[in-house]
Chain A
Amino acid sequence: MELRRLELAIPILGVAAILLAGLIGLPLAWLFRVSVAEPGGGGLTGANFVALVEDPELLQPLLLSLGVAFAVALACAAVAAPLAWLIARSDFPWKRAIRLLVLTSFVTPPFLGAIAWEILAAPNSGLLNQAYRLMLDLPRSEHAFNIYSVGGLVFVIATYTFPYVFILVVNGLERIPRELEEASAILGARRWATALKVTVPLGLPALLAGTLVAFLEAMNNFGAPAIIAIPAGLQTITTKIWTLFQFPPQPGLAAAAAVPLLAVTIVLLQVQQRLLGRRGYAVVGGKAGRPDIVPLGRWRLPALLFALGIVTISVLMPYAALVLSAFSRTLSVTLSPANLTIQHFTFVFAELSGTRQALSNSLILGVTTATAGTLLTLVIAYVVARRALPLWRWLGYLATAPIAIPSIVLGVGLFFAYTHPPFALYGTLAILFLAFLTIELPIGYQQFQAAFRSVHSDLEEAGRILGAGRLRTLADITAPLLWTAVVSTWCLVFVASIRELSAAILLFTVDTKVLSVLIYDLNESGDPGAIAVVGLLMLLITFAVIGIAYRLPRAGLQARPAASEEG
């Protein structure tokens, strides 16, 4: 019976492998080809790469991207590590609530966060600055915060990237074997000493790994710099790539500009792999017993304020700003009933031509990407987990490879690959489907990788020992345990595709506009009420779907989804 399944599986897997390779390889191949192509056909040239280093218009954005990424990584580490420790190792009171709010921050698209923070911290009209002037009776020239600055950009990106670090460090701390800490206690160290001398060093690899991810997320982000940096007269390499696509397009330069992003990403991911060891990212439960809890004592209040501060900044204030903007005629910190209106809602849903189409496109793409992605990654994860085929290891690598490709780079590659025959997919939803599928493969794969790991073969073997056949074991033991992973993966991929912007912005046409692009378009036209309404719509959909995933028992959301979910 095994032999028969293997025979069937080989062609299926062959097809899956070829599809995967094509999905990832084709755009990358085109990217490299365009970056070295002589304009007007013909030979190869390195001129684009030379320009990258020599032309200040290209070099400065690259340096700014790297600088911002570094600052974001540090900020995320500084914020997320203590918070993670509080949640994982102390008797902090509201752990569940904080976890939930950090998760909320995690699923908020950074570009939406940027828009919300514009509302709050624009130097003159920003709500926080208005309040500041009101409270201290200051003249208009004074402001506490200026979001249109490098500092503002770092702040916004860090606010929506720190959850990556948080989740990794929490998981890392939970995996530390109790025995080591117990040994420290037995040898006479007090709780705080153990924490500092044992827990922290053991958690360091997870922290470093998380910081690297934060660096990459920040470097590859498009939405936040487009919204915050451009008004300040700054460009990052991602906004520059997008600019190079404006008419007249300079594809060679755009492709060349994408290559450093790709290179840095690949290198840092290799480093991260080494830090986390062979076990990779996914962590679910495992054999750890109850962790040793450190009582906070008189540090409770500062810890509480710290945690509350973080969730206020990342979730409570920005969301309140969006809601206020959606319902206000003009933005003012002094709430008055006369200023409240539903005109923005009427405009977006009844008048704006693009809303219905964008919504339906987003939903269609979300559903198809989630379904196809879940099926594909389930198959691949099964093969890898059960080593069902030769070269199973390579399939695993292919499935995680897209993490190494920044979304905007993928968008560039896909644009070149699919705007020419024979695959002229530009202008259809198909090209967006391919982009989203590629970007989100790693999410699905890692969820299932973790799920298969927790469904240890012990359980299946137990079934076999008790006399059940392979199929029966699969049906009665493996499948039910996987079911929650299937649903949670579906939900995660759906949410990730709803908020995807970096690739979509390069690949959409008028008929294939999605919600994220609609928000971006509205932001360029400048209608704050309408932007807030569409933003809230996107968040509503996201939370509805996440709510389903979270309610499931053993939801796979504790495993860290590592792919680029930025926008």
Chain B
Amino acid sequence: MKYRAFRWSTLALALALGAPDTADAAMPAPTTITPELVKAATAEGKVVFYTSVELKLGEDLAKLFQEKYPGISVQVERTGSERVFQRIGQEYAASIHTVDVVNSSDAAHFLYWKEHGMLAPFLSAEMATEYPANAIDPDGTYGSWRVTLSPFAYNTKLVKEGEAPKSFADLLDPKWKGRLVKASPNYSGTIMTSTYETLQALGGWDFFEKLAKQDVLQTQSATEPPRKVATGERDVMVDGSEYFAYALMDQGNPLKIVYPAEGVPMITSPAAIMKEAPHPNAARLFYAFIFSAPVQQYMVEKGGTRSLDKEVKDRPDHVPLASLKLWPEDPKAMEAKAGEIKKKYRQLFGG
């Protein structure tokens, strides 16, 4: 509601003043990483990263950064996107500014933060050349750090290939009762996004209402369902992070991914620098680092994520995005519906 009012008033102002196209004017100039920046960052000594990326991957990135820039420690605070949002909200309400760089898989969070002036615009030289225009916010306040999907997956030791569900409709078959696991939009931004997209694509709550009767194991994080399927606790995951499923497969777990016939939810997971970051230079350095090609390549290869960086080669075993029927994101619409989705989900699945 507030956002729309804001838009109208800006538009009115622009029309009245005959302002030029704001999009190009608002994008900050690309910044090269200079030794001065590195020095300033090292003087700050620390960067605090709130993220929803899988914990070990997050700590790995921290280690890589610390190796490249000794003297700057990285504190990784990993929790579900919805919790990241809540923590930042609570902290900022009490004037506590701890976080430097934030990543959340719920793109609507960035609309909120931008609207409330909580983000600092920044664009590294690499980002300007390597990322397509639609991967970066027109005002440069955030960028699409990683992309993943939320497909099905099954345990190959427990389910034969022919039996595996191929569509959302298949999941409602009584034979899957007690054999499914899924994560929660109340914790995970990945699942918030995938739930929203599923509701849009399948036309309502009917699917979820029927799914709720299948005795689904309810986890919090989107990284849990692939793990639960890998350990054999449940046979099939209804939703979950594709990238972590790949990481588990790399470790030799008996997992196989299935892309549902109706379509696959796609989730971009943006990152941004906070305006009130206590370590602004270290924040910029870290932000540029995580968007850089070598790190993106690492995330793709070891983490299983997908990258929008043009210099990064996708994994050979990744099913190309172009060959899949992907469901689009709509952060603005999702933001409006988030509260209602969470409430209804809780009523159906309890948590």
Contact = CB atoms under 8 A, between A and B. Distances in A.
A351 B74 CA distance: 11
A125 B253 CA distance: 14
A526 B350 contact: no
Interface in A349-365: 351-354, 357
B87 A351 contact: no
Interface string A400-428: 00000000000000000001000010110
A419 B99 contact: no
**Top 4 A-B pairs ranked by shortest CB distance?**
A233-B350, A247-B86, A230-B351, A125-B233
A527 interface: yes
Interface of A: 57, 122-125, 140-141, 148, 229-235, 239, 243, 245-249, 330-331, 347, 351-354, 357, 419, 424, 426-427, 509-511, 521-522, 524-527, 530
A132 to B, nearest CB: 15
Contacts, number: 124
14 contacts: A124-B232, A124-B234, A125-B231, A247-B89, A351-B59, A352-B59, A353-B75, A353-B76, A354-B77, A426-B96, A510-B75, A510-B99, A525-B55, A530-B55
Interface of B: 48, 50, 54-56, 59, 62-63, 74-80, 82-83, 85-87, 89-91, 93-96, 98-99, 158, 178, 186-187, 212, 216-221, 223-224, 227-228, 230-234, 339, 346-347, 349-351
B79 A525 contact: yes
Contacts of B77: 353-354, 510
Given A331-B231, A526-B224, A231 B219 contact: yes
Contacts of A123: 178, 233
A246 B216 CA distance: 23
A488 B199 CA distance: 58
Contacts of B98: 509-511
Contact of A125 (B186, B223, B232): B232
B288 to A, nearest CB: 20
A233 B186 CA distance: 13
Contacts of A141: 178
B350 A524 contact: no
Of A232, A246, A511, A522, which is in contact with the most chain B CB atoms at under 10 Å from its CB?
A246
A424 B90 CA distance: 13
A123 to B, nearest CB: 8
Contact of B220 (A148, A233, A351, A524): A524
A477 B234 CA distance: 65
Contacts of B62: 353
Nearest to A524: B220
A419 B93 CA distance: 9
Given A125-B233, A510-B91, 5 more contacts: A230-B351, A243-B186, A509-B96, A521-B78, A521-B79
B91 A427 contact: yes
Nearest to A527: B55
A67 to B, nearest CB: 16
B186 A148 contact: no
B347 A140 contact: no
A525 B78 contact: yes
Contacts of B55: 352, 522, 525, 527, 530
Nearest to B89: A247
Given A231-B219, A246-B86, A426-B96, A524 B79 contact: yes
A330 B187 contact: no
Contacts of B74: 353
A123 B93 CA distance: 42
Contacts of B217: 148, 231
B350 A230 contact: yes
A353 B59 contact: yes
Contact of A124 (B59, B75, B219, B233): B233
Contacts of A330: 230-231
A124 B227 CA distance: 13
A232 B234 contact: no
B218 A57 contact: no
Nearest to A146: B178
A351 B233 contact: no
Contacts of A57: 346-347
A246 B76 contact: no
